Amino acid sequence: MSDAPDEVMWAGKYLAAKRCGPWEYATRQGDGRAAVLLAIDDEDHVLLVDQYRVPLGRRSLELPAGLVGDDVADEGVEAAAARELEEETGYRASRLDIIGDFASSPGMTSETFTLVRASGLTRVGDGGGVAGEGITVHRVPVSEVAAYVAERRAEGFAIDVRILVLLGTLVLPTTVRPE
């Protein structure tokens, strides 16, 4: 832990690079929180999205998500989750339940997200995000998520770590450690 003050090394419209003692990290300008949606419909299908991500140089398979307060000052997590679900997927939820807050990559960024479970889904539009996002919506049976993710990975997609919420131990083999 350092007593040194945070030094802004560079700041843009959305991000800032900072240093605290020897530690360098990124912060989001503004609120910095995101709402991430675990949206599963009544037929046990999960809604996933993919879009081109410039930092990765390829498309990324993800849970629907977006910044809290992106367009509206003092926007709450539930309002942001409802807005992003409809914008990105074209679905509206009758119920949103907050699962909890999580750190995205705590060694590199101050960004956090709130995981929100969306249920009672009704399709109200096509989704795809706002202009320029190029989001593709996928409705995948929960029982087939592991195979679906493997297929996208084989096609060259990046896989957002939050997909592990769905995969759990299905992709993480148990390792026996020697005593």
Instruction: State the Cα torsion 103-108-110-115 to the nearest 10°.
Output: -20
Which tokens in the block code for residue 32? 């910095």
| Whole-Å CA distances, 23 to 13, 60, 112 | 22, 28, 18
According to DSSP, the residues that pair with 136 across neighbouring strands are: 50
| Active-site annotation holder among 24, 84, 88, 133 | 133
Which tokens in the block code for residue 165? 């919420």
Q: Is 51 exposed, middle or buried (0-12, 13-18, 19+ CB in 10 A)?
A: middle
| Residues 91, 10 contacting (CB under 8 angstroms) | no
- C-alpha span between 64 and 35 (Å, rounded): 9
- C-alpha span between 20 and 5 (Å, rounded): 6
Residues written for the chain: 179
Place of tokens 């592990």: 164
- Please indicate whether residue 133 is annotated as part of the active site: yes
Supply the residues annotated as catalytic: 133
